[in-house]
Structure 1
């Protein structure tokens, strides 16, 4: 039964994708504005559904980080609507053409950007993904199948209903933005086998979900296992700047994937910097896991062994290590990082450039907060996810990452000898 239902959902989305592919940029933007308007109009309905789901999740012992992602407020719904309006303002990647070459025989070769087709989003307690993914996929010419986790299904259904109302206003099928009404795992497994209809799967959630989807999918998967982000404070760093980057990256919103989980401190400044860190983190009740070289600077830190780094806490909690030099920092990141976001604080431009060049991460930053590792903050509009695998996208994924290119070859009758 699950296979039949999945095949029906996927086939309808595939047909709907053809309707989107024929729309002009102006038509797509008009639909997107209707989506933003409908979200605002449906705010009360969405919040009612969300309130019930947050209460149920809290009663079931859901973590603080997950509850934060699940919870919507009038302000967060307005942010969702404004994110759609930001997408309207972005250039449409579909149809963009670049010249490759004109061959000696006269044939002309170009590459033209096209939609992927059908994208399946699989996510947990993140109802905002429903709006973000729906809008991004639509602007980039794709249909999307949204499979939300059980914790947020009613909220996501309410959001999708608002977006589908906008589609109907413009004579487009609901299946352009379809949501799987049943979070049953067997149905999700069946969807992952629909490679004849679905072109890409993007899971967003915990590491367990991403690994499960990757292991069971017949369809290419964009992977983002976890966000273990580090700040390395170099010998020449402005210590006040470094402290600001640390606090913003760790305590501003600790439950998100671009929050800092590790602090690396050059040994030559440890005696000056770590007392500042200890005082500041204590004021924010941050739990500290300290290496043996840094443990004495903290009153209540927990000792951490050299092989215990690399945890994604998603909480007011951080691991701290004193390193000998840049080599030690890069070696630590190579071993324990997750290819998400890494930050260096330094006044030495050569060290900054070396860090940027040698650290293997989707986003590398110099003297700025890890919290800017986000599609919206990087000018992409609402992001559909952050890829920590390198095919076909790396880092925050906006509109262009939801398209590909095809060759367009024109001539005047040339034949190959």
Structure 2
């Protein structure tokens, strides 16, 4: 029975609506598997440093490595600072380096704790500064970065390392970042820190968070000679100082909620070359022990990712349902109802979905079998995204650590979220 035979077309006309949706989902998954920059692969990692005595960027002695200033915005981070700041102060970097921690209006003694840790642990020089309350139109983190970057530029470094207060770095982290920037002539080198996966909710939600990010912004597309996507991971960004000045950051992105992607776009617009990959030896120590904490992390920026547009929200909800929820529903309903076409297409789509998720689970050292739970996790993200929109319209969007973002709608935050997530 060939495609041109009447019997073939008759069977197609007899397919249920659920079977058609399942087939559509399968087609989408086959396209995602092969046509979305191999987003599911986890091989975009920093290369091992080359010998600095060779090549066009040869650096022989300690004094010939570029100067770096590490800028750490921190607001009420006393709980994680003892696990993160000592790792920065202990960096084994051959050149001149120092750390500036910007205490962004903390009420828990973050600044005093940082100074005490530096006095007790030693290592790189530490400066603690305070910028005061954010200026009009500024998000708190970017206001703190503005203050810290201005102090850093006065030291004349070639590079700035922008890293969050909850990020712990292996001793060679800074050396590897700088080597990668020099070896491949990159203006921005960013690593997606390995988030904590200690609690059951962290193990369920966190790997999917990174998986969805990579699906939106395939790392291979970002790192290509002719890039097709632009993004960075805000927890760990090495940036050339002259490129930051040319791009006008952070002033140019002062109201961005999704500041890392906005930063990368500003750098790209200024002609900068960008690299983004998964981290080894760069880990978030922030605990998200309950679902509520993870929920707030996602809802803070999900609607901003959709440019605060209801039409994109609707498209995203429909797309997520088609891509992630239809396959298991079609498989189960098809088996129960005896709908072979729905069961086959739904099962095949679910199998492809599961297979693409396994590499990320392995990166996070989680059991491969948990990949079958991705539809459930995706349903959580769907509800989180809707809740993010509800919070925005109630005037509580972007809330984080006691501050509510004013709700700017910057062009830099616009993404192809629906097209990438829902096709």
Relative to its length, the structure with more strand (as a share) is 1
Which interval holds the TM-score relative to the shorter structure?
Answer: under 0.3
TM-score (norm 1): 0.28
Relative to its length, the structure with more helix (as a share) is 2
TM-score (norm 2): 0.28
